[in-house]
Chains A and B, each alone.
Chain A
Amino acid sequence: MLIRIKGARIIDPPYMDAKKDIIIKDHLIHAIVDPEYVDPEYKDADPNIHIIDAAGKILVPGLIDIHVHLREPGQEYKETIETGLAAAARGGFTTVCCMPNTNPVNDNSQVTRFIIQRGREVGLSRVYPVGAITRGLKGETLAEIHDMKQAGIVAVTDDGKPVLNSNLMRRALEYCRGLNIPVFVHAEDTCLADSGSMNEGSFSTFWGIKGIPNAAESVMVVRDIALSELTDAPVHFCHISTKESIEAIRQAKKRGAKITCETAPHYFTLTDEDVKEYDTNFKMNPPLRSKEDRQAVIEGLSDGTIDLIASDHAPHSVVEKDVEFDRAAFGIVGLETSLSLALKLVHDGNLTLPELIHKMAKQPAKILGINNDIKEGSRADLTLIDPDHEYVIDPSTFRSKSRNTPFAGMKVKGDAFLTMGGGKVVYQRDGQSGGHGDHP
């Protein structure tokens, strides 16, 4: 069985931006051909070839979201690996990295193997687990990072919590440098955050909600830049939200420090002014910041200071969300809205389409050390984007188990049209999508 994706504009920065057809065979990209090319073995009408009409669509390397919470094992009522990967496929992501704050924590190889095994059984998008830096995410002693790496983790993080002890963080960076495994940093000084629930500013004062100052993030960003320079180890900052953090990272990069960072769509889409009356779907950590911070995030994306976009997909049920604001859990789902929200950066002229694809497919691959170039012989992980599709975000259509999004009712333009994982269609708009069964 062959698949021919016909008529798309292929963007694979920096190598390709051209109208080509792609022929897929046995999980792999078999050939990249001119649209006029007629295969001597297979004509279009051949029943053994499945044609995907992609006229007007954009074909890109499979999008990668390096920051999601799949909640399994332990909190399957919020999300499972199956529903999370279905959401990923729906959002155009062929690969996701899941954070270790499950129950039990992914701080040992058994949990790592379980996640990978479940991901294979589900057979939708691929899942790469991220292990814990410290045992039980307690910030006290190192987890068995090498053992987890053998089992398949691609990075480590204590995401959700910082490693507050600076000396432990230093040793973690040194240790991981020796193992050649990336460290993702949740930058938050929890003393400064002081159990706050939204950005500290005139809006937190107005609502009477305890605030989280920008400095709660930036002091830890500055600390970990210093520790990266001390240890010569790379550091990747998760979900950057403040102008001070971005400026610190910009300066560190100028000095040649091994720093990368991500932001999430809500930080370039919303501000603390948008927080609706005690609506907990606007509560996440770090919180929605000020207008100036949002502008700084957009500028950081434009000038390359911010390397990539990740959703920080954090499913929660009504049990955690339909409660008092200060008692509600932090986090929002994002896999199924990320691409549409990010495309607004292109529509608004803040990024070119190749730059966006770079941030959502190529840069994440580079950090994880995987190859998703569109070339003959590569695994067929591909995303077809419909850049002109206008729709209103409707959480009731989500494939995720959870509905906690602040974007319900928002009109957006552009979305995933088709997602292909290992040569198999795992999502197609207005069509059926696959799943179940191993693919390599």
Chain B
Amino acid sequence: MRFEKKDILDIESLEPWEISMILDTAQGMKEISERPVKKVPTLRGKTIVLFFQEPSTRTKLSFDTAAKRLSADTHSISAGTSSIVKGETLIDTAKNLEAMKPDVIVLRHPSSGAPHLIAKRVKASVINAGDGIHAHPSQALLDMMSVREKKGKIAGLKISIIGDISHSRVARSDITGFSKMGATVSICAPRTMIPKGIEKLGCTVSPNMEACIEGSDVVMMLRIQKERQGSILFPTEREYSTLFGLNRDRLKLAQKDVLVMHPGPMNRGVEISSDVADSDCSIILEQVTNGVALRMALFYLVAGGSRHADSH
């Protein structure tokens, strides 16, 4: 099978075999970052634009690092510096970028569907680096990669996701991805943070944190995103932590070899206690390491891989 997708917009539009191919490719890329000279010429002469309309540190750096390790040239545009602040529409900005002939546009945007909007209008591949509360496919893929690497499989595992599901694009993409690959996903959050019909993405809603974690192979904690909500979804961080914080006692309910994950940035002492975050079962930093390999794989597959084999 050949990877034919022009864009990586969400997990929903990827077939299980495509997800497997991305994860396999990423696993192969991982070794490059271990070399003394962390660079291969694969994407030499390719141009990648990092178009970030929302603040981001790790995701942007991860994409940038991934592109550079493949020898692509990268250019960065962010919210404060783009013409969008001068009133230019997203489509016009994208068309202007297109006119400079980039090969890939990586877009992060506060509006759900923004990457879909521009993907239809540009020839460059569009990779969604997070759109509103909709999707964050590269994060979900690196999460799947990290789990598969540790457990040797995804199918049959029990995955728990705890936190603000309503406002989390990571949660939506992870639920879709893990359930697509055969895992069982259960979620837990204050009722104010569970959107209607979330079960249809492929998960069950647990009545409380203990029921959610019990017997889990993976516990994924989500950040309480303070910038996304007012004060009406939960009263205090203290109460949130009491009901939904991950600590040693609660973690005992999970499988002995449980993996603890977090997409970052963490609020230590709120959704996750420091001892759990720093414990042996935590793979939070390995997620970050795998993020670079996974994004290298995405660049390779859309810009340098088999999709372009015929044209060279």
Query: Is A55's CB within 8 Å of the partner chain B?
Result: no
A199-213 interface bits toward B, Cβ cutoff 8 Å, 1 = contact, 0 = none? 011111111111100
B190-204 interface bits toward A, Cβ cutoff 8 Å, 1 = contact, 0 = none? 000001111011000
Q: Do residues B90 and A324 form an inter-chain contact, with CB atoms below 8 A?
A: yes
Give the complex CA separation of A210 and B169 in angstroms. 12
Q: Do residues A277 and B196 form an inter-chain contact, with CB atoms below 8 A?
A: no
Query: Is A77's CB within 8 Å of the partner chain B?
Result: no
Q: Do residues A205 and B200 form an inter-chain contact, with CB atoms below 8 A?
A: yes
Residues of chain A within 8 A of B117, CB atoms compared = 278, 323-324
Q: Do residues A205 and B113 form an inter-chain contact, with CB atoms below 8 A?
A: no
Residue with the greatest number of chain A CB neighbours at <10 A, chosen from B109, B135, B195, B201:
B195
Query: Is A247's CB within 8 Å of the partner chain B?
Result: no
Q: Do residues B89 and A322 form an inter-chain contact, with CB atoms below 8 A?
A: yes
Contact (A202, B134) CB under 8 Å given A208-B112, A277-B116, A325-B111: no
Query: Is A327's CB within 8 Å of the partner chain B?
Result: yes
Q: Do residues B132 and A326 form an inter-chain contact, with CB atoms below 8 A?
A: yes
Residues of chain A within 8 A of B91, CB atoms compared = 322-323
Contact (A208, B200) CB under 8 Å given A278-B117, A323-B91, A326-B111: no
Residues of chain A within 8 A of B135, CB atoms compared = 208
B197-217 with Cβ < 8 A to chain A: 197-198, 200-201
Contact (A325, B113) CB under 8 Å given A205-B201, A208-B131, A208-B172: yes
Residues of chain B within 8 A of A210, CB atoms compared = 133
Give the complex CA separation of A208 and B112 in angstroms. 6
Residues of chain A within 8 A of B172, CB atoms compared = 205, 208
Residues of chain B within 8 A of A322, CB atoms compared = 89, 91
A285-343 with Cβ < 8 A to chain B: 319, 322-327
Q: Do residues B197 and A207 form an inter-chain contact, with CB atoms below 8 A?
A: no
- Which residue of B is nearest A278, CB measured? B113
Query: Is B189's CB within 8 Å of the partner chain A?
Result: no
Q: Do residues A323 and B90 form an inter-chain contact, with CB atoms below 8 A?
A: yes
Shortest distance between the CB of A273 and any CB in chain B (Å): 12
Give the complex CA separation of A325 and B112 in angstroms. 7
Shortest distance between the CB of A338 and any CB in chain B (Å): 28
Residue with the greatest number of chain A CB neighbours at <10 A, chosen from B90, B91, B133, B135:
B133
Contact (A205, B112) CB under 8 Å given A278-B117, A322-B89, A324-B90: no
Query: Is B114's CB within 8 Å of the partner chain A?
Result: yes
Contact (A324, B109) CB under 8 Å given A208-B131, A211-B195: yes
Residues of chain B within 8 A of A208, CB atoms compared = 112-113, 131-135, 169, 172
- Which residue of A is nearest B114, CB measured? A324
Shortest distance between the CB of A289 and any CB in chain B (Å): 13
- Which residue of B is nearest A200, CB measured? B196
B225-240 interface bits toward A, Cβ cutoff 8 Å, 1 = contact, 0 = none? 0000000000000000
Q: Do residues A277 and B113 form an inter-chain contact, with CB atoms below 8 A?
A: yes
Shortest distance between the CB of A421 and any CB in chain B (Å): 39
Residues of chain A within 8 A of B201, CB atoms compared = 205-206
B117-145 with Cβ < 8 A to chain A: 117, 131-135
Shortest distance between the CB of A11 and any CB in chain B (Å): 43
- Which residue of A is nearest B133, CB measured? A208
Contact (A207, B134) CB under 8 Å given A323-B91, A325-B112: yes
- Which residue of B is nearest A199, CB measured? B196
A65-104 interface bits toward B, Cβ cutoff 8 Å, 1 = contact, 0 = none? 0000000000000000000000000000000000000000
Residues of chain B within 8 A of A204, CB atoms compared = 195-196
A157-179 interface bits toward B, Cβ cutoff 8 Å, 1 = contact, 0 = none? 00000000000000000000000
Give the complex CA separation of A202 and B201 in angstroms. 9
Q: Do residues B198 and A278 form an inter-chain contact, with CB atoms below 8 A?
A: no
- Which residue of B is nearest A319, CB measured? B89
Residues of chain A within 8 A of B132, CB atoms compared = 208-209, 326
Residues of chain A within 8 A of B198, CB atoms compared = 202, 205
Cross-chain contact of B200 among A202, A323, A327 (Cβ < 8 A): A202
Residues of chain A within 8 A of B169, CB atoms compared = 208
Q: Do residues A205 and B111 form an inter-chain contact, with CB atoms below 8 A?
A: no
Give the complex CA separation of A307 and B171 in angstroms. 44
Give the complex CA separation of A203 and B12 in angstroms. 13
Residues of chain B within 8 A of A200, CB atoms compared = 196
Residues of chain B within 8 A of A323, CB atoms compared = 89-91, 117
Residues of chain B within 8 A of A277, CB atoms compared = 113, 116
Shortest distance between the CB of B150 and any CB in chain A (Å): 29
Residue with the greatest number of chain B CB neighbours at <10 A, chosen from A200, A207, A322, A323:
A207
Cross-chain contact of B116 among A202, A203, A206, A278 (Cβ < 8 A): A278
Residues of chain A within 8 A of B131, CB atoms compared = 208
Cross-chain contact of A211 among B12, B114, B134, B196 (Cβ < 8 A): B196
11 chain-A/chain-B pairs, Cβ below 8 angstroms: A201-B196, A202-B196, A203-B197, A205-B172, A205-B197, A205-B198, A208-B133, A209-B112, A209-B134, A322-B89, A323-B90
A residues with CB within 8 A of B: 200-211, 277-278, 319, 322-327
Taking A278-B112, A278-B116 as given, write out 12 further A-B residue pairs in contact, using a Cβ cutoff of 8 Å, ordered by the A residue number.
A204-B195, A205-B196, A208-B113, A208-B135, A208-B169, A208-B172, A277-B116, A319-B89, A322-B91, A323-B89, A324-B111, A325-B111
9 nearest A-B pairs in the assembled complex, by CB-CB distance: A202-B197, A208-B134, A278-B113, A324-B111, A208-B112, A205-B195, A208-B133, A202-B200, A205-B197
